[in-house]
Amino acid sequence: MPQFISPLEYSESFAVRTYEIDHCKRATIPALIRLMQEAAMQNVIQLGVSIWDLEAQNISWVLLRKSMQVFRLPGLGERIRVSTCPTGFDRRFTYRDYKIFGADEELLIQSSSAWLLMDTITRRMAPIPGFILDFEAKMPAPEKCLPRPEFRFPKFEQANFTKAFEVNWHDLDFNLHLNNTLYIQWMLEAMPPDMLQEKRVAGMEVLYRAESRWNDVLYTETQMLDEHTYLHRLMKKGEEKELAMALSRWE
Amino acid sequence: MPQFISPLEYSESFAVRTYEIDHCKRATIPALIRLMQEAAMQNVIQLGVSIWDLEAQNISWVLLRKSMQVFRLPGLGERIRVSTCPTGFDRRFTYRDYKIFGADEELLIQSSSAWLLMDTITRRMAPIPGFILDFEAKMPAPEKCLPRPEFRFPKFEQANFTKAFEVNWHDLDFNLHLNNTLYIQWMLEAMPPDMLQEKRVAGMEVLYRAESRWNDVLYTETQMLDEHTYLHRLMKKGEEKELAMALSRWE
């Protein structure tokens, strides 16, 4: 039986769908990130702190960092349980963990993330309001939480692989920003073809730096650090501005 | 209570997810097409005639035509029931209907489609094998089926809107072809911005003509026929070959 780490935890079961799999009938990384994101959205809707609940106060959640370890990719039709829970605050950020389980509580994926609240008028960081700080008492014990997503990337030095993208209408989320999941999907496109076909992501750290909007022209660049490790960045053309960086490990 | 039109019918309930909605919190057309496609895949898996069941016989399903009427787009969290059923054969094609229902059996979307079986070695049309023809007796009565997707398009004369695409790794389905749903999504991208933001698709006819593979460079062109009606085509660059055509009606 699932052990909940906090009364704030949310858990939902999914069966891996045919549009979520690759040519090996395994769920893709973007599909699994979408399910983690979906569980988190349902969790904040349930807790009354979704982006729609916060609209009236002119604040909104912004994803900053995500760290992810992938132990096994579930297959077509496999029943998985996606669990997510807020895991605390510090002065500036709020944190959230995700776990994906297979049958018999086999841990398939774990991920921690950091978020901030943005004032949607000034576009600057907003203080965490009292009704969110009130969740403090119900947060899981620190030893039940994953390590927070603290990481540094090596300097990006050269693009060994690159891909170009335009932000289209159907790439936007309900907030009219480029979907979080597509940041990762597009960074993973600029990879050696045989890695995409024959290997899989074993772990990833992602740093989100700026939002992107309809009709933006973007490109992703990847630097090979070693045979198993790649450094990625998502750039906005013209401004040569970094929208995101990531490091991926493959096996 | 749902009325099944045939023992071959398959029905599955879904709640509209946060990644399936637009800025008005309504399910998008590509998201709804993915759910119809998913129900059809589960239906053929259940009937033992999925692409994986047919692999050993070197035959595979190819979608040729889809006709769709959209009465209302379901909203975030709304429970919908997606129902699909094979609806018969003729000399060359097999047919399948889809319906999406809201609460109280409100019909939200209906769609009919035509398919053929392709010999995966010769790449030509294959005869329908006996074990599929055996389903004949269980097909729904003709008066329970939607009109078959028979339509002709006006000649494409000029591109008023255009968009370019590259077929990336995550755009492929389990068969390593460009996902059926993205044909439609990409044709809908080449539209006047205010139509995408303020209107919705009320109906669509789609003709699939050729498959597309990894790294293909494509573009879509749209001709405005009148304020509510648009003609689309998806083209392969270089060969100037038509991969698909569609007609969309908006309201």
Q: What is the pLDDT at residue A3?
A: 81
Looking at the structure, do residues B139 and B183 belong to the same domain, yes or no? no
Nearest chain A residue to B181 by CA distance is A19
pLDDT confidence band for A1 (50 / 70 / 90): low
State pLDDT tens for residues A107-137: 999 999 999 999 999 999 999 999 999 999 9
Nearest CA in chain B to A181: B19
B248 touches chain A (CB under 8 A): no
For the record, the structure tokens of B64 come out as 């040729």
On whether the CB atoms of residues A84 and A9 are closer than 8 A, the answer is yes
Q: Check B38 against A28: CB less than 8 A apart.
A: no
A143: closest CA of chain B, how far (Å): 31
Of B144, B176, B201, the domain-final residue: B144
- What is the domain extent for residue A190? 161-250
CA angle (A97, A98, A103) in 5-degree steps: 145
Looking at the structure, tell me whether residues A72 and A165 fall in a common domain. no
The pLDDT value given to residue B3: 81
Contacts of B172 in chain A (CB under 8 A): 22-23
Nearest CA in chain A to B46: A77
CB–CB of B19 and A173 under 8 A? yes
Answer yes or no: is B151 within a domain: no
Residue type at position A233: R
Q: In this complex, is the C-beta atom of A144 within 8 Å of any C-beta atom belonging to chain B? A: no
Mean pLDDT of A166-193: 97
Q: Which of B23, B170, B216 to mutate to test the interface with A (most CBs of A within 10 A)?
A: B170
Question: Is A188 part of the contact surface with chain B (CB cutoff 8 Å)?
Answer: yes
The ipTM assigned to this model is 0.94
- Which of chain A's residues have a Cβ under 8 Å away from the Cβ of B19? 34, 37-38, 173, 179, 181
- Residue A152 in any domain: the answer is no
- CB of B242 within 8 Å of a chain A CB? The answer is no
Q: Which of B144, B176, B197 is the last residue of a domain?
A: B144
In a shared domain, residues A97 and A60: yes
pLDDT digits (tens, 9 = 90+) for A81-94: 999 999 999 988 99
Count contacts between A and B (CB, < 8 Å).
73
* Domain contains A117: yes
Collect all residues of chain B within an 8 Å Cβ-Cβ radius of residue A166. 163-164
CA neighbor of A159 nearest in space, from A237, A241, A202, A219? A219
Q: Is residue A14 part of a domain?
A: yes
**Strand order from edge to edge, sheet including B161-166:** B10-15, B79-89, B94-101, B107-119, B59-70, B201-208, B241-250, B229-236, B217-226, B161-166
pLDDT of residue A91: 84
A22 touches chain B (CB under 8 A): yes
Residue B199 resides in a domain: yes
Decide if B176 and A19 are in contact by the 8 Å CB cutoff.
Answer: no
Q: Is the pLDDT of residue B232 over 90?
A: yes
Q: Which positions in chain B touch A214 (Cβ < 8 Å)?
A: 193
Q: B174 and A41 in contact by Cβ < 8 A?
A: no
Secondary structure (DSSP) of chain B: -PPPS-TT-EEEEEE--GGGB-TTSBB-HHHHHHHHHHHHHHHHHHHT-SHHHHGGGTEEEEEEEEEEEES-PPBTT-EEEEEEEEEEE-SS-EEEEEEEE-GGG-EEEEEEEEEEEEETTT-SB-PPPHHHHGGGGGSPPGGGSPPP----PPPP---SEEEEEE--GGGB-TTSSB-HHHHHHHHHHSS-HHHHHH--EEEEEEEE-----TT-EEEEEEEEEETTEEEEEEEETTTTEEEEEEEEEE-
Same domain, A22 and A131: yes
Q: Which residues contact B248 (CB under 8 A, 6 or more apart)?
A: B187, B188, B201, B203, B204, B229, B230, B232
Residue of chain A with shortest Cα separation from B176: A23
Contact B174 A18 (CB under 8 A): yes
Confidence of residue A141 (pLDDT cuts 50, 70, 90): very high
DSSP for A134-179, written as a single string:
GGGGGSPPGGGSPPP----PPPP---SEEEEEE--GGGB-TTSSB-
Whether A77 maps to a domain, the answer reads yes
Mutate to test the interface with A, among B36, B163, B169 (most CBs of A within 10 A): B169
Tally the domains of chain A. Answer: 2
Whether residue A99 is found in the same domain as residue A178: no
List CB contacts (< 8 A) between B30 and chain A.
170
B23 shares its domain with B138: yes
pLDDT of residue A118: 95
Query: Do B175 and B213 belong to one domain?
Result: yes
Judge contact between B207 and B231, C-beta under 8 A. no
The reply to whether B210 and B103 lie within a common domain is no
In chain A, what percentage of residues exceed pLDDT 70?
Answer: 100
A60 shares contact with chain B (CB less than 8 Å): no
Residues B138 and B14 in one domain: yes
Report pLDDT digits (tens) over B146-156.
999 999 999 99
Find all residues with CB under 8 Å of B162, minimum gap 6, and list them: B190, B219, B220, B221, B222
Tell whether B208 is covered by a domain: yes
Alpha carbons B115 and B128: distance in angstroms, whole number: 11
Instruction: Give yes or no: residues B43 and B98 share one domain.
Output: yes
Residues in chain B within 8 Å Cβ distance of A189: 168-170
Q: Are residues A61 and A110 in the same domain?
A: yes
Same-domain status, B72 and B179: no
Can you tell me the distance from the alpha carbon of A79 to that of B116, in angstroms, rounded to the nearest whole number? 31
Kindly state the average pLDDT of the residues B218-246. 96
Residue B150 lies in a domain: no
Contacts of A22 in chain B (CB under 8 A): 172, 174
The pLDDT of residue B1: 66
Q: Which of B90, B119, B144 is the last residue of a domain?
A: B144
Residues of B in contact with A37 (CB under 8 A): 18-19
Contact flag B196-A169 (C-beta cutoff 8 Å): yes
CATH code for the domain in which residue A129 is found: 3.10.129.10
C-beta separation of A205 from A247 below 8 A: yes
